[in-house]
Amino acid sequence: MTWTWFHRLGSPPYVYALAARLTPWFAWPAALLIIGGLWGGLVLAPPDYQQGDGFRIIYVHAPSAWMSLMVYTTMAVAAAVGLIWRIKVAHAVAASCAPIGASFTFAALVTGALWGEPMWGTYWEWDPRLTSELILLFLYLGYMGLRAGLEDTQRADRASAVLAVVGVVNVPIIHYSVTWWNSLHQAPSVMRLAKPTMAASMLVPLLLMLLGFTLFFGAVLLVRLRGEVLNRERSASWIREIVNA
């Protein structure tokens, strides 16, 4: 077995071209899946017997929350790869992940608050999942803050990679401690989302949206990665060739 395909992934010009070629393969299926999922979720699925039409925000909220964690994990894995094997492109991937993940986290928080208003009667409830999501947003902001604070790209790469790895070790601890904290403090009168098995007509659009969001993340990541590579390699000769061509 040859490893050339793997080693080529460490080369910025190759990755730049590869990302350009792959982007449509993520973007188009993402668009189709999201349109299909929204149609299924907002139009075809029946209203919930308890929440009426209010539950439909789940089709944006749940995929966003799912992505917020997945992007963080992707970022930490890319950062660890960059840290261990000193692959610059991996650091570029990690750097490109952070703003996307922070945006998903923000979207999950906003949709969660909007959902909370009809459900709980208040925009913000110290629900363990919402609280964990808020802490996750701070983790993203810290990561981006550290990157912004360090001027030398290489140092920013490696320092933020350590932070991402430390963060990913802590995410489960934070999540479980917040759940534990909440089980002590939360009044039992607060209405909780019952979790009956979802009807297929509601579940299928949700799964479509999950897949669609994942592919959408892939597409945005590839676009951002190209920008990141361009910025990092701005003095390299292969970029001059592209620009002059």
Partner 1 sequence: MSGYGSPAAGVVAQAAPLARQATVWAGSHQAPLLDAARLALARDLQLAFRKRGQLVQPLAFFAMVTMLFPLAISPELARLREIAPGVLWAGALLASLLALEFLFRDDAYDGTLEQYALSGQSLTWLIFAKTAAHWLLTGLPLALMAPLAALSLGVSDAAVPGIVASVAVGSVALSLIGSIGAALTLGIKRSGALLSLLTLPLSLPVLIFGARATQLAISGGPLLAPLELLAALAVLGVTLAPLAAAAAVRISLE
Give residues in contact with partner 1 (CB under 8 A): 135, 138-139, 141-142, 145-146, 149-150, 154-155, 158-159, 162-163, 165-167, 169-170, 173-174, 177-178, 180-181, 184
Packing angle between helix 153-185 and helix 88-120, nearest 10 degrees? 30
What residues have CB less than 8 Å from 8, skipping those under 6 apart? 14
Rounded to the nearest whole angstrom, what is the least distance from the CB of residue 52 to partner 1 in the complex? 35
Rounded to the nearest whole angstrom, what is the least distance from the CB of residue 184 to partner 1 in the complex? 7
Rounded to the nearest whole angstrom, what is the least distance from the CB of residue 131 to partner 1 in the complex? 9
Q: Closest CB to partner 1 among 130 and 219?
A: 130
Structure tokens given for 144: 């981006």
Q: Closest CB to partner 1 among 56 and 175?
A: 175
Q: Closest CB to partner 1 among 70 and 164?
A: 164
Which residues sit opposite 48 in a β-bridge? 52
Q: Closest CB to partner 1 among 63 and 167?
A: 167
Rounded to the nearest whole angstrom, what is the least distance from the CB of residue 232 to partner 1 in the complex? 17
Question: What does the DSSP 8-state code read for residue 48?
Answer: B
Specify whether the CB–CB gap between 30 and 215 falls below 8 A: yes
For residue 236, what is the enclosing H or E element? none
What does the chain come to in residues?
245
